[in-house]
Amino acid sequence: MSYLLVLLLVLCLFVNPCLSDPRATEAALICTNNTASVPQHDTFLQNFFAAMDKVTPLIATQRHAAVVNGSTGDTPVYVFGECMKDLTNEDCGVCFAQCKTQIFWCKPFQRVNRGGRLFYDGCYLRYDDYYFFNETLSVEDKTVCGSQEFVGNGSVFSANVNQLVMNLTAEAPKFDGFSVGFVTNENVTVYGLAQCWEFVNGSDCEYCLASAVSNISSCTPKEEGRVLNAGCYLRYSTEKFYYNSTQPVRNGNQGSKLAIALTATSSALALLLVIATVVFIVRKNVLKRRRERKQLGAMLATVNKSKLNYKYEVLEKATNYFHNSNKLGQGGSGSVYKGVLSDGQVVAIKRLFFNTTQWVDHFFNEVNLISDIHHKNLVKLLGCSIAGPESLLVYEYVPNRSVHDYFSAERKSQLLRWEVRYKIILGTAEGLAYLHEELETRIIHRDIKLSNILLEEDFTAKIADFGLARLFPEEKTHLSTGIAGTL
């Protein structure tokens, strides 16, 4: 073990020290509410999901994305996302993946909610129903100050903050809209970062950051402060929070650069780096678990340990970000996509038209119940994803599609023989008999139709969506006095 530690210390002398931290800590969530219900909400929601699908691969390749889905008069949705420029590509992906799952707290599925901004310390995501890509400042811009006051010489601290933010805002427009640095005077050090979003440049960047400097002064003598504008981000802190990026760090203490460079070559720093990495990973995992418990309640521990739980990012990647080429069909409850998991398993993934954030316990319990139902004439429910921006159900993949496909114009040349039709009818009846009579908790399907009867390679019938009515939230209850099913 001692030889391994010595080898690690030697290797650390030849690499640039860098602690992985996606800074996926929420700075602010700003949701836009319209006072009146907005028409064409279903179209807006479809455009919202489509736009979000397009953003992720762009972030992965270029670290920023500006997407428009839908045309004028067709409730278009505008989405923008970007990572802080000091983050590594890996941390950028982690930060944005978490940011994308949490933007749904703005509840775009409600008719009055048509816009949202989510500021993380490592990335940013915004969606709206109007063109905002040329927006520098807005009435919803926000200043967020820390809770702890600086202990020490307050006047020196305030002066350092003022000097730092002035330096950053002067340099950022000259260096691709980004600058990091620190100021040290009289043993008081303050660190900072300034960044304009990709669609803001030149004089607009200067204007946005000048406004940020004016607003952030209200945070001193707090140890930390952030200004979250429509076109830029400005932060200062007594703790160093940014990476040592490729851009030179500019500050008020030039002698510190040489000291840092010399220290980085010493074995003492290498040992400190190893210890700090371990402490950081442990602390990061603890904080992540606390946030998750707060967001989804005690049920989350059960969900995470369950074999039924799938990560949203895994399913998104399995379908190539829900690409249309993988779409199998669409019904009244959601769209179905073919997906290939990392282990090669082929599955069918249904994107439901509602979100489970407010009723996660009920939803997961129902999935848990239905996943235990095994019958040769029922489609197997493998699990679900409930912590992402939308609700997903994961089913076994049935290769021969539905009976409906064999009566469509595309497959008239493959008409089913009478003995095959009899086999399908008998299999469907056996599946229904199992649901109605053999289960302890009886399930009434209420929507038997050609598209809900899937076919295996040997034309064994499998009933799909047999438990979906149970999975709808209370406001979408399956109990009604109206005519049920499909016309």
Do 114 and 148 belong to one domain? no
Q: How confident is the model at residue 279 (pLDDT cuts 50, 70, 90)?
A: confident
**Mean predicted confidence (pLDDT) in 34-57:** 78
Q: How confident is the model at residue 30 (pLDDT cuts 50, 70, 90)?
A: very high
pLDDT value at residue 119: 96
**Beta bridge partner(s), residue 227:** 143, 234
pLDDT at 8 over 70: no
Overall average pLDDT of the 38-56 stretch:
82
Q: Please indicate, yes or no, whether residues 362 and 423 belong to a single structural domain of this protein.
A: yes
**Confidence band of 447 (pLDDT split at 50, 70, 90):** confident
Q: Are both 316 and 445 inside the same structural domain? A: yes
**Average pLDDT for residues 412-428, to the nearest whole number?**
87
pLDDT for the residue numbered 211: 94
- If asked whether residues 230 and 288 sit together in one domain, one would say no
* Residue 121 among the catalytic residues: no
**What span, in angstroms and rounded, lies between the C-alpha atoms of 437 and 307?**
28
Check residue 362 and give its pLDDT. Answer: 64
On whether both 43 and 129 belong to a single domain, the answer is: yes
Same domain flag for 241 and 281: no
User: How crowded is the C-beta side of 71, counted as CA atoms within 13 Å?
Assistant: 0
pLDDT value of residue 298: 54
* Residue 1 belongs to some domain of the structure: no
Q: Which of 470, 475, 233, 261 is nearest to 371 (CA)?
A: 470
Stretch 96-116: mean pLDDT, rounded? Answer: 82
DSSP letters, 341-375, are -TTS-EEEEEEESS--GGGHHHHHHHHHHHHT---
* Whether residue 452 sits in one domain with residue 318: yes
Flag whether 33 is in a domain.
yes
SS3 at position 60: helix
Confidence at 47, pLDDT banded by 50, 70, 90: confident
User: Could you tell me how far CA 51 lies from the centroid of its own chain?
Assistant: 13
473, pLDDT greater than 90: no
pLDDT over threshold 70, residue 93? yes
**203-207, 324-328, 445-449: which has the minimum mean pLDDT?**
445-449
Tell me the angle at which helices 89-102 and 41-62 cross, rounded to the nearest 10 degrees.
Answer: 170
Highest mean pLDDT of the ranges 204-213, 236-245, 269-278, 461-470: 204-213
- Distance (Å) of CA 26 to CA 29, 125, 289, 414: 7, 11, 15, 55
pLDDT band at 49 (very low <50, low <70, confident <90, very high): confident
Q: Which of 53, 447, 458, 465 is catalytic?
A: 447
Among 87, 105, 133, residue at a domain's last position = 133
Q: How many folded domains does the chain comprise?
A: 4
The arithmetic mean of pLDDT across residues 109-126, rounded, is 87
Classify residue 304: in a domain, yes or no.
no
- Average pLDDT of span 406-426: 81
Average confidence (pLDDT) over 256-284: 61
Position of tokens 């993946």? 97
Verdict on whether the full-model pTM lies above 0.75: no
Kindly state the average pLDDT of the residues 61-85: 89
- Residue that the structure tokens 């200004």 belong to: 227
Read off the pLDDT of residues 317-327 as tens digits, 9 standing for 90 and up.
999 888 888 98
C-alpha distance from residue 315 to each of 38, 302, 380, 396 (Å): 31, 20, 17, 14
Q: Taking 80 as the threshold, does the pLDDT of residue 406 lie above it? A: yes
Distances (CA, A) of 252 to 176, 189, 190, 224, 239: 21, 10, 10, 19, 17
* 8 part of a folded domain: no
404: in domain:
yes
Q: Which residues pair with 181 in a beta bridge?
A: 192
Residue 105: Cβ within 10 Å count: 16
The residue among 267 and 4 whose pLDDT is bigger is: 267
469 in the same domain as 347? yes
Range of the domain at 249: 143-259
485 lies in a domain?
A: no
Domain boundary among 89, 114, 133: 133
Domain end, chosen from 82, 111, 133, is at 133
- The enclosing domain of 401 has a CATH number of 1.10.510.10
Residues 379 and 449 in one domain: yes
Q: Are residues 468 and 370 in the same domain?
A: yes
**Residue 244 burial (10 A CB sphere; 0-12, 13-18, 19+):** middle
Q: Give the Cα-Cα-Cα angle 137, 31, 49 (nearest 5 degrees).
A: 105
Mean model confidence pLDDT for the chain? 80
Same domain, 331 and 467: yes
Q: Where are the alpha helices (DSSP H) in 343-471?
A: 360-371, 418-433, 468-471
CATH code of the domain containing 238: 3.30.430.20
Q: What share of the chain has pLDDT > 90, as a percent?
A: 40
Tell whether 481 is covered by a domain.
Answer: no
d(CA 381, CA 80): 35
Q: pLDDT tens for residues 330-356? A: 776 778 999 999 999 999 999 876 665
Among 462, 299, 440, smallest CA distance to 381 is for 462
For every residue of 211-244, DSSP letters joined together read: HHHHHHGGGTTBSEEEEE-SSEEEEEESS--S--
Q: How far apart are the first and last CA of the chain?
A: 71
Q: Is residue 465 part of a domain?
A: yes
Do 270 and 255 share a structural domain? Answer: no
> Residue for token digits 């679900």?
384
More confident residue, 404 or 364: 404
Separation between Cα atoms, residue 265 and residue 262, nearest integer Å: 6
